């Protein structure tokens, strides 16, 4: 054992030395690094421990890749403008959400054993809501069809963590987040690191000042991932965890929302307490995740959830106009930023070749009507008329 760690960190060091699996070693080492105070006297020790941690994560990635691929017993094809999956523990109220949003009639009060889906129509958008079987363990291999469940979440556009505040908030969120992380997903934006693998040319590092390691240490870590030729660019200050994410091509960065269900069972004077508790838990686990309240007896909850999904995904609605009539029943839904070209592509591929010009109406601006080309950027609520060559 090293001699220059504080006494309070000794148990964490012992846990690290006694850990049997790679995953347990990573957890113990993360706890040890968090325990050690950050000052000049511990700089070298922390650097060494972070190097060990980076190599252990590389080893864990190799172990994961060597596992036999699971046979998925079910899958859900995407429909509508976005696929929204509901992930929760048993009896969290997922099925009731699908029934409420989609006018479905799935049986409640019993465990969901296979995906249940419906279409949630909200202000011209159509969101596919998928109720997944419950998660009962952070180890998804201990969940029935766990790999298949998380495979659907992996490919979805957004994950909704369905949490029942009457059961206790913290353990539910932690269990769900651990299961997500176990499945090569993280609820955050991509790290400020770009890795471009090359067939030859060695390793080139750009922006080394933003790296948590020196060039020599970086090359050593990259070799542990079997990367000998690449350009790695740090665009902003990065941590060793950011580096791990950037070097793992299977990691998927997911948008997420926390839905607090069954709020009709919580006294109204405790709403702020429930929201505050959830916020505090999420700050320590994941960042930039919206929290929304839901009750099947609340029409405003449906509206607010639709708005939250729409904004979290960064979508806009474009309304088409033909023969002076605006088609309000169904919008063209696009991710921001979006141009007239994207609208044409979504309607029909031939629209690009035959395009003459488009007229965009934007009631919120002084010039309410503009004649524009394919590269004109659109805003939510724009009304568009497209004129084609014969």
Confidence of residue 288 (pLDDT cuts 50, 70, 90): confident
Q: What is the pLDDT of residues 94-106, one digit of tens each?
A: 999 999 999 999 9
- The answer to whether the beta carbons of residues 294 and 261 sit under 8 Å apart is yes
Q: How many residues does the chain have?
A: 390
Give the model's pLDDT for residue 365: 86
pLDDT above 90: residue 75: no
Name, of 12-21, 28-37, 65-74, 97-106, the range with top average pLDDT.
Answer: 97-106
- Provide the pLDDT confidence category of residue 6 given band limits of 50, 70 and 90: confident
Q: What is the pLDDT of residues 152-174, one digit of tens each?
A: 999 999 999 999 999 989 999 99
pLDDT of residue 68: 66
Contacts of 267 (CB under 8 A, 6+ apart): none
State how beta strands 230-234 and 203-206 pair: parallel
pLDDT mean over 287-295: 88
Indicate whether 3 pLDDT > 60: no
List every span in the chain annotated with CATH 3.40.50.300.
Answer: 82-187+254-312
Q: Over 90: is that where the pLDDT of 316 sits?
A: yes
pLDDT at 70: 58
- Superfamily holding 316-388: Beta-grasp domain (3.10.20.30)
Tens of pLDDT, residues 195-254: 999 999 999 999 999 999 999 999 999 988 999 999 999 999 999 999 999 999 889 999
- What number of other Cβ atoms are within 10 A of residue 48's Cβ? 12
Q: What's the CA gap between 1 and 189, in Å, rounded?
A: 37
Q: Does the 82-187+254-312 domain belong in CATH 3.30.420.10?
A: no
Question: What confidence score (pLDDT) does residue 4 get?
Answer: 62
Query: Which pLDDT does position 287 carry in this prediction?
Result: 64
Name the 3-class secondary structure at 380: coil
Alpha-carbon torsion 103, 107, 109, 112, what sign? Answer: negative
Nearest to 340 by CA among 313, 325, 324, 362: 362
What pLDDT was estimated at residue 47?
82
Strands 383-388 and 355-361, bridge-based pairing = antiparallel
**58-65 long-range CB contacts below 8 Å, 24 or more apart?**
58/221, 58/224, 58/225, 58/244, 58/247, 59/22, 59/224, 60/22, 60/23, 60/26, 61/225, 61/247, 61/248, 61/250, 63/22, 64/184, 64/250, 65/250
- CATH 3.10.20.30 domain locations along the chain: 316-388
Q: What average pLDDT is seen over the chain?
A: 90
Cα of 388 vs its chain's centroid, Å: 39
Read off the pLDDT band of 71 (50, 70, 90). low
Give the tens place of pLDDT for each residue, 181-203: 989 999 999 999 999 999 999 99
| pLDDT-based confidence at residue 324 (cuts at 50, 70, 90) | confident
Which phi and psi (to 5°) does residue 288 adopt? Answer: 55, 45
Is the model's pLDDT at 323 over the cut of 90? no
Least confident of 63-67, 79-83, 130-134: 63-67
């Amino acid at each position: 054992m090293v001699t220059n760690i504080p006494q309070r960190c000794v148990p964490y060091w012992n846990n690290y030395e006694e850990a049997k699996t790679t995953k347990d070693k990573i957890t113990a080492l993360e706890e040890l690094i968090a325990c050690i105070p950050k000052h000049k006297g511990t700089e070298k020790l922390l650097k060494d421990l972070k190097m060990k941690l980076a190599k252990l994560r590389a080893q864990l990635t190799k172990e994961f890749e060597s596992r036999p691929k699971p046979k998925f017993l079910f899958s859900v094809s995407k429909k509508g403008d976005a696929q929204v999956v509901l992930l929760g523990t048993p009896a969290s109220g997922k099925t009731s959400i699908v029934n409420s949003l989609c006018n479905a009639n799935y049986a409640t009060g019993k465990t969901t054993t296979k995906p249940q889906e419906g279409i949630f129509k909200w202000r011209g958008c159509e969101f596919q809501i998928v109720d997944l079987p419950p998660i009962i363990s952070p180890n998804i291999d201990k969940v029935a069809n766990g790999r298949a469940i998380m495979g659907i979440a992996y490919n979805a556009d957004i994950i909704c963590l369905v949490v029942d505040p009457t059961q206790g908030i913290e353990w539910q969120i932690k269990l769900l987040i651990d299961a997500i992380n176990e499945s090569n997903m993280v609820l955050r934006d991509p790290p400020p690191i770009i890795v471009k693998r090359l067939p030859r040319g060695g390793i080139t590092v750009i922006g080394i000042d933003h790296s948590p390691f020196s060039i020599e240490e970086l090359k050593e870590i990259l070799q542990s991932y079997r990367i000998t030729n690449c350009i790695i660019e740090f665009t902003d200050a990065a941590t060793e965890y950011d580096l791990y994410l950037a070097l793992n091509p299977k990691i998927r960065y997911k948008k997420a929302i926390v839905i607090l269900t069954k709020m009709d069972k919580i006294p109204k004077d405790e709403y702020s307490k429930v929201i505050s508790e959830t916020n505090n838990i999420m700050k320590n686990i994941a960042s930039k995740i919206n929290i929304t309240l839901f009750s099947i007896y609340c029409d405003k909850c449906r509206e607010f959830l639709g708005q939250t999904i729409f904004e979290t995904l960064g979508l806009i609605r474009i309304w088409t106009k033909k023969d002076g009539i605006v088609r309000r029943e169904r919008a063209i839904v696009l991710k921001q930023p979006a141009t007239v070209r994207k609208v044409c592509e979504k309607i029909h591929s031939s629209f690009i070749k035959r395009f003459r010009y488009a007229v965009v109406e934007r009631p919120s601006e002084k010039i309410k009507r503009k004649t524009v080309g394919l590269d004109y950027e659109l805003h939510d609520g724009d009304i568009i008329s497209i004129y084609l060559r014969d």
